[in-house]
């Protein structure tokens, strides 16, 4: 039986931190309901210390949303952890997710503390978090650029103090897939108490590798993936939840893992996030983009009409999309045109089809795509000219 991957959704925390993606409390609650319906295992509801509104949003989500674990983010800081604990207190299952940067760059230039100070903060604050809940996640910010020996000490310390999930994020999206796979293999092998925790990956998309790096992390031993709807998040974003889920479904032969996600809800979740943030999904976005199941090139359209599998590796319905679309444009062929005319209740002779096709291509050069109304006009004009000629 395939191993299960824990899907940790951070759309409401890391995703909301992206410029232009902030949501009010009511909007966060709507999205949280959608994420619960989708089947996420862990829902990171926010960063309570950030503001009173954020703390209240986390509390309301923890009160209403009962199926997933509700997580709240907190720095390795006493006030942060107490605030997070209070916010997730109503949850059926609560998690405190605490973090501190561990790379020398961050320690020296940002936090201005020593490695020993960092370790002491982990001891104090992971221990404090465990007094509120048995489910504590620890993240080593900028883990992939942290000295390996020191990182192993950090991880061992966090687990010893009660962390049950260890997240080693590629905070700035710097890694390549082969590199991050070996990174997790090495840490898990070297840390003596690594078997006492679930390892998690949190990859950013600065080099466009977030999903590939997340899957490579799983090969390296991770069993939790932190991701977001539409891949939204800081800078270039996070690993895309919908892409990760569909890789496991379409390529189970190479990625033999299961998730609890109801994939038929992926498109609806994507559309809701877009609605709430007023940020459209890019047209060519995998799985949920407008063009993900659209075909314009004539060769592709011909193959698709004969057998969908020639150019689609999943069905639109698998992710909650109503149907595939044959887009009429300057690259389209006669097969797609004939099918579209048939859907409009119009049967054309071979000669008529050629005339309509030439008119369509001419119009497509001027306006990119051809809608049903355009096509109806072309057909009407052709038949009108035929009538005049016959007279």
pLDDT at 210: 98
DSSP letters for 281-327: PPTT-TTTSTTTTEE-SHHHHHHHHH-GGGT-SS-GGGGT----EE-
DSSP letters for 34-86: HHHHHT-SEEEEE-GGG-HHHHHHHHHHHHH--SSEEEEEEESSHHHHHHHHH
**pLDDT tens by residue, 80-111:** 999 999 999 999 999 999 999 999 999 999 99
pLDDT at 391: 53
pLDDT at 385: 79
What Rg, from alpha-carbon coordinates, does the chain have?
Answer: 26
pLDDT at 387 over 80: no
Q: What are the beta bridge partners of residue 8?
A: 42, 226
> Strand (E) positions, 184-266?
198-202, 224-227, 257-258
pLDDT band at 247 (very low <50, low <70, confident <90, very high): very high
CB 223 within 8 A of CB 241: no
Cα separations in angstroms, 185 against 18, 148, 177, 189, 191? 31, 12, 12, 6, 10
pLDDT band at 390 (very low <50, low <70, confident <90, very high): low
The SS3 assignment for 88 reads helix
**pLDDT tens by residue, 1-15:** 679 999 999 999 999
Of 43-47, 71-75, 385-389, which gets the smallest average pLDDT?
385-389
pLDDT at 388: 60
CB 57 within 8 A of CB 28: yes
Cα separations in angstroms, 216 against 51, 230, 327? 36, 20, 36
CB 353 within 8 A of CB 333: no
pLDDT at 297: 86
- Residue 90 is given by DSSP the state T
Whole-angstrom Cα distance, residue 176 to residue 220? 13
**pLDDT tens by residue, 37-66:** 999 999 999 999 999 999 999 999 999 999
pLDDT at 2: 76
**pLDDT tens by residue, 167-205:** 999 999 999 999 999 999 999 999 999 999 999 999 999
- Residue 200 is given by DSSP the state E
Domains of the chain (ranges, CATH numbers): 3-277 (3.20.20.70), 294-390 (no CATH)
> Which tokens sit at 56?
């209240």
């Amino acid at each position: 039986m395939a191993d299960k991957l824990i899907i940790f959704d951070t759309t409401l925390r890391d995703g909301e931190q992206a410029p232009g993606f902030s949501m009010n409390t009511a909007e966060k609650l709507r999205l949280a309901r959608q994420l619960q319906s989708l089947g996420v295992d862990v829902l990171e509801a926010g960063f309570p210390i950030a503001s009173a509104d954020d703390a209240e949003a986390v509390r309301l989500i923890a009160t209403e949303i009962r199926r997933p674990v509700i997580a709240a983010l907190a720095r390795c800081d006493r006030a942060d952890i107490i605030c997070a604990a209070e916010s997730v207190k109503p949850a059926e299952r609560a998690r405190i997710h605490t973090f501190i940067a561990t790379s020398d760059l961050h320690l020296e230039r940002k936090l201005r503390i020593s490695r020993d100070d960092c370790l002491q903060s982990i001891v104090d604050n992971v221990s404090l978090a465990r007094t509120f809940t048995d489910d504590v996640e620890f993240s080593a910010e900028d883990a992939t650029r942290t000295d390996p020996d020191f990182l192993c000490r950090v991880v061992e310390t966090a687990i010893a103090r009660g962390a049950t999930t260890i997240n080693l994020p590629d905070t700035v999206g710097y890694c390549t897939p082969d590199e991050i796979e070996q990174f997790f293999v090495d840490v898990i092998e070297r840390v003596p108490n690594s078997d006492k925790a679930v390892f998690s990956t949190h990859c950013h998309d600065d080099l466009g590798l977030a999903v590939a790096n997340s899957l490579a992390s799983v090969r390296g031993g991770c069993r939790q993936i932190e991701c977001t709807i539409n891949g939204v998040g800081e800078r270039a974003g996070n690993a895309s939840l919908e892409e990760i889920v569909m890789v496991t479904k379409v390529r189970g032969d190479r990625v033999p893992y299961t998730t609890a996600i109801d994939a038929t809800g992926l498109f609806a979740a994507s559309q809701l996030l877009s609605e709430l943030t007023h940020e459209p999904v890019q047209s060519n976005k995998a799985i949920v983009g407008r063009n993900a199941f659209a075909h314009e090139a004539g060769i592709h359209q011909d193959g698709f009409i004969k057998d969908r599998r020639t150019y689609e590796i999943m069905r639109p319905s698998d992710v909650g999309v109503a149907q595939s679309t044959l887009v009429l444009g300057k690259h389209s062929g006669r097969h797609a045109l004939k099918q579209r005319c048939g859907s409009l209740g119009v049967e054309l002779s071979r000669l008529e089809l050629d005339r309509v096709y030439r008119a369509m291509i001419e119009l497509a050069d001027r306006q990119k795509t051809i809608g049903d109304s355009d096509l109806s006009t072309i057909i009407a004009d052709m038949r009108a000219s035929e009538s005049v000629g016959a007279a």
